[in-house]
A and B are shown apart, each in its own frame.
Chain A
Amino acid sequence: MDIELVEIPKWNCCGAVSSLTADDVMHHVAPIRNLIRVIEMNEEGLVNDEKRLIVFCSMCFNVLRRSNKRVKEDPKFLETINSFMDEERDYDGSVKVMHFLEILRDIGFYKVKERVKKPLKGLKVSAYYGCTLLRPRGVGIDDPEAPSIMEKFIESLGAEVVDNPYKSLCCGSYHTVGGNKELVAERAYKIINAARERGADLIITSCPLCAFNLDNRQELTKKIHPDFEHMPVLYFTQLMALAMGMESETGFDGNYIDPRPLLRERGFLEG
C-alpha cells in the first residue's frame, strides 16, 4: 500500500474510554502524552514531517481524537494539561489522529482493490461499526446514521456486502465485565441474528472490545438461547490479510468462533 507504519516507541494506554466530565483534566493526560510522542518522533528523526497518528482500535481512536479536539478548542485546557507534562515537551495541537480506515479511504479503496490477490468472491460479509468509530458527530469517521466506509472496504476485497440494521447498535461494551454480561450476550444475539437473517457468512469489526463481545460472548449467548447459531466475527484486518494472500498473518488462532472451516469450505483457505 506504500504506507510505512512506525510504532510510537514509548506509547502508553489511552484509558480506553473518553472522560466525559467537564471538570476532569487528569484522564486527558495519558492520551495527550501519546500525541506528544508523535511530535518527539519527528524531532528524533524516526519520521519525517509526519504528524498523522494512525490508530486501529476504535476505542483508542475515539479517546485520542476527543482529547485532541478538546485541547485544540480550549487553549486554557491545553495549558492545564501541559502543566502535568514534567518530562515531556508541551503539546501544541499539531497531531492529526486518524483511524486506519480513514487512511485507506484517503488513499482510495480502488488502490486496496489493486493489492487484492485473492478476491473474496461470494463471501457475504456484514459490517459492524459499533459506537466509537461513528459517534459522537464530529469525532466519528463517517455519517453516524448511515455509515458506508466499512462497506466500501468489504467491496474492495471482492466480498459481498450484507447490510445489518443493527450495525451501529452498541454491543454493551464494558458491561462484559462483572454482573451484566447478559446485556452483552443479548445484544450479540440481536446483532448476529440480524446479519444471519440477511445471509451473512461472517461479521467484521474494527473495535477489539466489540470483537470480544460479539465473538467470545457467543458462548453465553448460546447458553441463553439454545437456538442460536454461531457466526465467525473477524477483526477487519484479518479479512484484509486473507484477501491480500497473507494467510500466515491472519491470526485466526485467536478467534473464539474459528472462521477457518467456513473459509476452507468456500475455497479461501487451503488445507
Chain B
Amino acid sequence: MTETIIIKDRNIDLLRLASEISGEVITLCEQCGICTTSCPMAEDMDITPASIMRYTQLGDEFVLETRAIWYCASCFSCTVRCPRGIDLAKVAEALRQIKLRKNQDYLKIDELKEEAEELPAIALVSAMRKYTG
C-alpha cells in the first residue's frame, strides 16, 4: 500500500529548525536502525531513535510531543555507531531545545524541593540544564 504524506510548509520549518540548531544533516539518515539497537533507553521510549529521525525528516511536529526525545540521556551510543556519521544526540538536543526555548520545561522545579536535598549537585545541575530552558 502506498501512503501519500503531504508535508506542509510549517512542517518543513521543523526540519530546518532542527537542522540549524543541531548543526547536523538530518536528511542523511537512511533508517538503518543501528541507533535504535544501540540505545539503552529505546525499550522505554514511545518511539525509537530511528523514528525520531524519520519524523524529524518529515517535519512532523508529533516528534516534539514524544517521551523519547526526553528519555534520550545524551549517552552518545548512537552517535559513535551511526554509519552516516550523524550525531543523533545533537538532533535529540535540538528537538528538546525547540520545546525549552518556548518555555515548555520538562521538569517542574517546584516539585523537587525535598528530593533536591538528597541529590548530589552533579545530578541537579545536569537535570536543570537538560530539562529546563
**Is the pair A20, B75 in contact by a Cβ cutoff of 8 Å?**
no
**Is the pair A136, B123 in contact by a Cβ cutoff of 8 Å?**
no
Q: Which of A166-197 contact B (CB under 8 A)?
A: 168-170, 172-178, 180, 183, 186-187
**Is the pair A22, B75 in contact by a Cβ cutoff of 8 Å?**
no
Closest to A137 in B: B80
Say if the beta carbon of A44 comes within 8 Å of chain B.
no
**Is the pair A177, B127 in contact by a Cβ cutoff of 8 Å?**
yes
CB-CB under 8 A from B122, the residues of chain A are 16, 57, 59, 208-209, 212
CA distance A23 to B107 in the complex (A): 23
**Is the pair A187, B40 in contact by a Cβ cutoff of 8 Å?**
yes
Tell me the interface secondary structure of chain A in the complex: loop
CA distance A13 to B40 in the complex (A): 28
Closest to A182 in B: B44
Closest to A180 in B: B71
**Contact segment of B6-14, B15-23, B50-58:** B15-23
- Distance in Å: Cβ of A30 to nearest Cβ of chain B: 11
| Interface magnitude class on chain A | 20 to 34
**Is the pair A15, B71 in contact by a Cβ cutoff of 8 Å?**
no
**Is the pair A183, B22 in contact by a Cβ cutoff of 8 Å?**
no
CA distance A47 to B75 in the complex (A): 35
CB-CB under 8 A from A131, the residues of chain B are 73-77
CA distance A177 to B111 in the complex (A): 11
CA distance A1 to B114 in the complex (A): 42
Say if the beta carbon of B90 comes within 8 Å of chain A.
yes
CA distance A13 to B115 in the complex (A): 21
CB-CB under 8 A from B61, the residues of chain A are none
Q: List 9 A-B contacts (CB under 8 A).
A: A21-B94, A22-B20, A59-B126, A135-B76, A136-B87, A137-B80, A144-B76, A177-B124, A186-B44
The 3 closest A-B pairs by CB, nearest first: A22-B23, A170-B75, A177-B127
Extra contacts, 7 of them, besides A131-B77, A177-B119, A178-B112 (Cβ < 8 A), are: A15-B125, A20-B74, A136-B87, A145-B80, A174-B73, A174-B129, A177-B126
